[in-house]
Amino acid sequence: MAGVYYYDGTFAGLLTLLAPLLPQAILPDAISIDPLPQQGLFAEVMVVETDQQVVEQLWAELEQRLTPSCLKLIRRAFLAGQPERELLICRYLLLAWQVGKKISGLLAHPHVAPLWKLSQQVGREAHRYRGFVRFQEVQGGFYYAAIAPDHWILPLIAHHFAARFRDQQWVIHDTRHGQGIVYDRLRQEWLILPMATHAEPDLTQAEVIFQELWRNYFQTLAIVERKNLRLQQGKVPLKVRPWLVEFT
């Protein structure tokens, strides 16, 4: 039955929530993570507990009903920092239950286009942050970077940084979502862990010099006659600048 559904915020939790709804073609009124008591006055409220067995069953069924690119679309859209993401995924899957694999071609369908757009936004931000991460060498021999992306992109960028900086110890801290990737050089493994904001990192002497070198280099590189701040701001939005060495 329709109503307001609550789950624990994990992808598995969402799948558990959706599993009974999809065969019955039920669209919830809302899907939310934090139960807000005042919203439950008139609507039916359901709190769903994640059930690993249900998840595995549903995932197997999804793999049969959808193409791999559709599954990727859903997983990616789930990382979005947008409150409607769960309902969009639900609408999309309800449509998939009707039309099957054909859904991959229905790019302009009203239940597909918004999800697809959301997934693109996540993918684009993840790509941008491959460039916007700035490591600082901290006392104790590791490199620390803080970022504050709109979407939960850590799972999308971890592999890239692990492949590239495999011989250095590093941490990428997503201060907005309170999580971080920790890379272990010796075991060549990374983990995503909850992470609180630390005090100011204690920089090494070399770090101070390299930051200054980079700032000077960056300033020199601009061609004054071609100044175009509007274009620059489109590419480097103000919200990412506090974390970029060259803008601080």
Partner 1 sequence: MAVATPLMDKLKILADGAKYDVSCSSSGSFRRNRDGIGNASSCGICHSWTSDGRCVSLLKVLMTNSCIYDCAYCVNRRTNDVRRVMLTPAEVAELTIGFYRRNYIEGLFLSTGVVRSPDYTMELLIEAVRTLRQEYRFNGYVHLKLVPGADPLLVQEAGLIADRVSVNLELPTREGLALLAPDKSRDAVVAPMQQVNKLIVVNRAERQVSRKVPRFAPAGQSTQLIVGATNESDRQIVTLSEQLYQRLDLKRVYYSAFIPVVADTRLPDRPTSPLRREHRLYQADWLLRYYGFSAHELLDDEMPNLESDLDPKTGWALRHLELFPVEVNRVDYETLLRIPGIGVRSAQRIIWARRQGHLTIDDLAKLGVVMKRARYFVTARGRYAGECALESAGLRSRLVSGPAKKGAKQLELPLAQPLASDEATGLISGEL
Contact, 52 vs 12, CB < 8 A? yes
Q: How many residues appear in the chain? A: 248
Among 91, 134, 173, 177, binds partner 1 (CB under 8 A): 134
Structure tokens at 68: 């791999």
Sequence-distant (6+) residues with CB within 8 A of 73 are 115, 116, 119
Q: Does 229 bind partner 1 (CB under 8 A)?
A: yes
Q: Is 191 in the site for partner 1 (CB under 8 A)?
A: no
Determine, following the binding rule CB under 8 A, whether residue 59 of this chain makes contact with partner 1.
Answer: no
C-beta of 124: minimal distance to partner 1 in Å? 12
Exposure class string for 54-76: b at 16+ Cβ within 10 A, else e: bbeebeeebeebbeeebeebbeb
Reduce the DSSP state of residue 208 to 3 states and report it: helix
| Residue nearer to partner 1 on the CB measure, 145 or 156 | 145
34: contact with partner 1 by CB under 8 A: no
Which of 36, 217, 239, 242 binds partner 1 (CB under 8 A)? It is 217
Q: Does residue number 227 form part of the binding site for partner 1 (CB under 8 A)?
A: yes
CB 50 within 8 A of CB 14: no
Q: 203: which DSSP letter?
A: B
Per-residue contact track with partner 1, 194 to 213, x per CB under 8 A? ------------x-xxx-xx
- The site for partner 1 (CB under 8 A) is made up of 102, 105-108, 113, 127, 130-137, 143, 145, 160-161, 163-168, 206, 208-210, 212-214, 216-218, 220-232, 234-236, 244-246
